[in-house]
Structure 1
Amino acid sequence: MGLLDKLFSKKDPLDDLLEDEALPVASLAHETSDATPYAHELDAFMDRMFPGRNVVVWREKNMEAGRVDVCVMQPTAKEPYYVLYTSGMSAQEMTLDHLPYPEHYSYLRRAELLMYLPATWPMQTLFSAGENPVPESVYWPVRALKYLARMPQLCNTWLGAGHSVPNGDPMVPFEGAQGFSGMMLYFPDEGNGPKKLLPVPTDDGQIMLYVAVPVYAEEMNYKLAAGADALENRLRALPNAEAFIVTNGRKNTCQGGV
């Protein structure tokens, strides 16, 4: 069992999630009683960037670890992929104290995470599960996003573009993920997903967005040896953006080692 696996027990993957009715994003903007601090700005931004989508919001039941909702924007005929994004990671500023001159990087203190899944992902299994167990092969991307979003506060650190998080030491595959053993974070630039996204503007600054990309152990080792940019180039070279629109069983870009 790896680091990300340990943080979230798999006894019942939906124990700490509450499935809401699917609503248009425009309706979500009017929910104020229990919204996360920057939910309105974030939802409005995502609605502009990915228009015409219905959204399911899994709301946190247990607030003790810090609320992190996961919003799932459903595919459209024009854009046949799911967009998952966290809402709540930005509620608290990340610590940058270990960086030289942290005051120069204050714009990095708040962030949220994205992940893209293909339209063929059996997400309806989660939508209709209620309190019943669901296959980890379907749920693991949601679990990984929730852990990564909480990691800065749990570990008194920060996450940003080029950072990697292995699943344990030594790395082991996520349960149900067909070999992926860690996560990379990249800017959602051109080539790193279906479209380029800028930071989310807020009244008091901005929220950085990072796309979470599952990687194999060999790819993680290559990143540590050659750098995040070198791995990014290899991931971008895969056809149909299959590294960034997560494809279970995709080609390992570092098969055979570094």
Structure 2
Amino acid sequence: MSKSTEYSESGNPIYRYSDKQQEWRPPEYGEDKWIKKIEDHVRQHIGEIDSVFHEILSDVVHIDVHFIKPTPERNYYTLITTGMSFLPMNTPEGAEGCEYAELMICLPPDWPISQEDLENPDHYWPIRWLKMLARFPHDFDTWLGWGHTIPNGDPAQPLSQQTGMSGIILLPPIHVDEDFLSLDMGDGRNLDFYAIIPLYSEELDLKLKHGSEPLLDKFDEFGISEILDLNRRNTCKQQII
């Protein structure tokens, strides 16, 4: 059940979710041409897809995570979902044209990525969040888009034992060609790509109190992007020298 009667100090609605809006139902699979169009787009703008983390048991939509290996030009892993866009999201008035999206994150080139490594929650959590957020709008009959933040619980807890960051914000990736950000599916539908960027609790608070712009100014100042840095500076906390 979702409630939207609460508002942040910046005037944006705060949604709290408990029970799923839908009972289990067979997953929606994308048409081959839909998936191929996304994969071709990724190959053109990011690089060759090395492997796919296939979902074995799915609910509502079938979410896969595609891996692109580090290269000299892009020296980090790029992980991108397919499946979130198999169904339209329930966007509100004013967000027309934002019904379809996929998610991504970039991991350091030394990130433990083998099947055995990913059995460790401290290594697997970026994939878990990609899959969870890709399914979230369809589980709760809602939507995710630019500037949306999601805390890791209430109260928010660290995303893993290796970092103090405790939430996520969705933003367009910046280490890509501008043409990558949006994909015209050729049938009147448009698909947007968003990066999931981890946040510290103070950064979550800043966004809730004052909106996205002050936080994005800090991100610009400190060079925060879709490339994950577990120990990056907290942009809203003064460092003690």
TM over 0.5: same fold? yes
Alignment of 1:19-168 (within 5 A): 36-37=30-31, 38-51=34-47, 53-96=48-91, 99=92, 102=93, 105-123=95-113, 125-126=114-115, 129=116, 134-168=119-153
Which position in structure 2 is the counterpart of 1:229?
213
Which position in structure 1 is the counterpart of 2:232?
250
Structure 2, gaps ≥5 residues long: 1-15, 21-27
Structure-2-length-normalised TM-score: 0.79
Distance change (3 Å), C-alpha of 1:145 and 1:133? closer
Deviation at 1:70, TM superposition (A): 0.6
Structure-1-length-normalised TM-score: 0.74
Output one character per residue of 1:43-82: Cα deviation in whole Å (capped at 9) or x when no partner. Answer: 000100023x342101111123421101111111222111
Deviation at 1:121, TM superposition (A): 1.5
Which position in structure 1 is the counterpart of 2:164?
179
Aligned-pair RMSD on alpha carbons?
Answer: 2.5
Deviation at 1:249, TM superposition (A): 1.2
Give the conservation status (yes or no) of the 8 Å contact 2:61–2:87: no
Deviation at 1:134, TM superposition (A): 2.0
Structure 1, gaps ≥5 residues long: 8-33
Distance change (3 Å), C-alpha of 1:116 and 1:195? farther
What is the CA–CA distance in structure 2 between the aligned matches of 1:194 and 1:203, rounded to whole Å?
Answer: 22
Which position in structure 2 is the counterpart of 1:200?
183
What is the aligned-residue identity percentage? 30
Distance change (3 Å), C-alpha of 1:133 and 1:88? closer
- Give the number of equivalent residue pairs: 211
Distance change (3 Å), C-alpha of 1:54 and 1:66? closer
